[in-house]
Amino acid sequence: MRNVLLRALHVVALPALLVIVWWFASAGSTDVFWPPLRTILKTFPEVWTADRLRADVLPSVARLLVGYTSAAVVGVAVGTVIGSYRRVRAFCEPVLEFLRAVPPPVLVPVIMLFAGIGDTMKIAVIASGCVWPILLNTVEGVRAVDSVMSETARSYGITGVARVRGVVLPAASPQIFAGLRQALSIGIILMVISEMFAASNGIGFTIVQFQRGFAIPDMWTGILVLGLLGFLLSVVFQVVERRVLGWYHGLRASSRRSP
């Protein structure tokens, strides 16, 4: 129980400190673009009603989840194939390095040409940016699988899909989750960027509308919503990661305790 309380304190300590600093730093502000935090917090419940949450936040989260899940499936599947075969890896590596270096926001106009301006475009933008950290981390994780473990599995006749599912993916899962964590942050950024182009709803669209209408406190409330959404998704991801990689974290904890 004590460890849980200490972990919770560590999670909320820095955000609470930043809020306190923001509160006092902006308390006497008369700048229209830098309103006091108390004004933003007062405006928050007036702007983000249940209707607006349904109209803007839920569509954004749905696009993020679909794009992120698509990137996870493609990244893990393709990364496993590339990481398992040396010749495939040597053939694909130059192309992967080239595509990884292209910033995803630059692809938004190109994706709009092929996917239009609807939800398909926004999902494609999110997936195109999220896939690279997942794919590359999967490749490195698969490459790092212990050769002794692979040979033991082969000697017992564990090959093909059974080997991938029972040996390769569990051994590479810590690296895969590292890529999934990176991709989640990228996905949130691309979610907002994609909604700034020819959108009719979403958090990014709403923030831009507030900015264009000089509703500055309302705009800041949208930024707060993004921060809260990112924090919530991070907490959910940590819970899932702890559950899936319980064996890995237990192994690391035991190795720290051992002399």
What tokens does 217 get?
């406190």
| pLDDT(8) > 70 | no
How much of the chain, in percent, has pLDDT values that exceed 70? 91
Please, what is the end-to-end C-alpha distance for the chain in angstroms?
26
Q: DSSP of 173-212, one letter per residue?
A: HHHHHHHHHHHHHHHHHHHHHHTTSS-SSSHHHHHHHHHH
Residues 176-197 have pLDDT tens digits of 999 999 999 999 999 999 998 7
Give the architecture-level CATH label for domain 56-245. Answer: Orthogonal Bundle (1.10)
Q: Are 96 and 135 in contact (CB under 8 A)?
A: yes
Mean confidence (pLDDT) of the chain: 86
Provide the CB-side half-sphere exposure for 255 (13 A, CA): 6
| pLDDT(93) > 90 | no
Residues 116-136 have pLDDT tens digits of 888 888 999 999 999 999 999
For residue 10, the model assigns a pLDDT of 67
For residue 257, the model assigns a pLDDT of 60
Task: Provide the CA 71 distance to its chain's centre, in angstroms.
Answer: 11
Residues 142-182 have pLDDT tens digits of 988 877 777 777 777 777 778 788 888 888 899 999 999 99
